[in-house]
Amino acid sequence: MDPRRPLHPDHRTGNVVRSTAPRAVDRSQRCWVRLVVVGAVARDSRTPSGHWRASLRGADGWRTVRESRGPYATASMLEWGSITKGLVGTTAWLTLEVERPVVHYLPGVPDPEMTVADLVHHTSGLPRLPAMMRDRLFGDPYREAVGVPLDHAFAVPVTPRGQFEYSNLGYALLGAVLDEVHGDWFAAVRQHVLEPAGISSAALVPAQADRVVPKLFGRAIRPWALGESSFAAAGGVWSTFDDLCRYADWALERGAGRSRTVSWQREGASTWINGEVRAAGAIIANAAGFTAVVHTLAKAPRATDAIATALIERQVRETCDGR
């Protein structure tokens, strides 16, 4: 795939894809940085309002940028959204023969040439979601998939194999492959990623009282039923903010190898993974020697990415200015 190809997110179905990456340059002996994540440009460093949490890691370790407040102060479990794909992609890369056709594991898949690697890299040609799930602008596209096994017959490509097409259906199918090999995809993720990363609280369906959710007119906004559905492997994981930072540490550990970030987006030396669901967003972004972890509630599309961009940009400027 062409890493420069402009892509656009579909926020109705929790898909967030990349446009260009964070990058830093030095001009005229002074540091200047322009960071772009998913098309959102940070133009200033003013602190945005609303409910969000953030931490930043530099050479001296992690520091809290915005502490727990509002809904974050009364509960602990956050929706990770499509950051789930990072866990699933790594597990597949570590435990499966990724160049094998998917039909080797799931004989009912219509395309005999589609490989496991295609699913990981979004190059299978599969659509974001099956057609009957894509037209629910204000509803929950995953509610009808709760308790219903994934129909492999839906896995029909809509674009040529090898061409980038962001696909939640592809990751749902990847979860089904892991189910076939390991018995339970989430148990495999726990064994190969979560436990090595020191994460113990991750869940697909956390207790209602533990969920960090925004409110509208005093009532909690109901999250999508991703974690309960056959599409859970595409974005259904919940865990704590501290665990999100632990995952960042583990995935980005120096010398760890590319398998830990095989599902992440990258351009040059910049790497990131993000996700958006009905009323929450999350990102881990690494650029210019800094890592930002941000989680937001009830914000506009790409707001999470813009906050992470601004945090790294500000830190780079302060570092270059000697502050």
Question: What integer pLDDT is reported at residue 323 of this predicted model?
Answer: 59
- Beta carbons of 163 and 1 less than 8 angstroms apart: yes
Give tens-digit pLDDT for 60-70.
999 999 999 99
Question: What integer pLDDT is reported at residue 46 of this predicted model?
Answer: 54
Question: What integer pLDDT is reported at residue 298 of this predicted model?
Answer: 85
Question: What integer pLDDT is reported at residue 82 of this predicted model?
Answer: 97
Question: What integer pLDDT is reported at residue 42 of this predicted model?
Answer: 41
Q: In this structure, what token pair is assigned to residue 252?
A: 């980005």
Question: What integer pLDDT is reported at residue 32 of this predicted model?
Answer: 35
Task: Give the chain's residues under pLDDT 70.
Answer: 1-49, 134-137, 323
Give tens-digit pLDDT for 143-176.
999 999 999 999 999 999 999 999 999 999 999 9
Question: What integer pLDDT is reported at residue 198 of this predicted model?
Answer: 98
Question: What integer pLDDT is reported at residue 47 of this predicted model?
Answer: 59
Go through 39-63 and write b for each residue having 16 or more CB atoms within 10 A of its CB, e for each that does not: bbebeeeeeeeebbbbbbbeeeeee
Only one residue has tokens 């076939």, namely 180
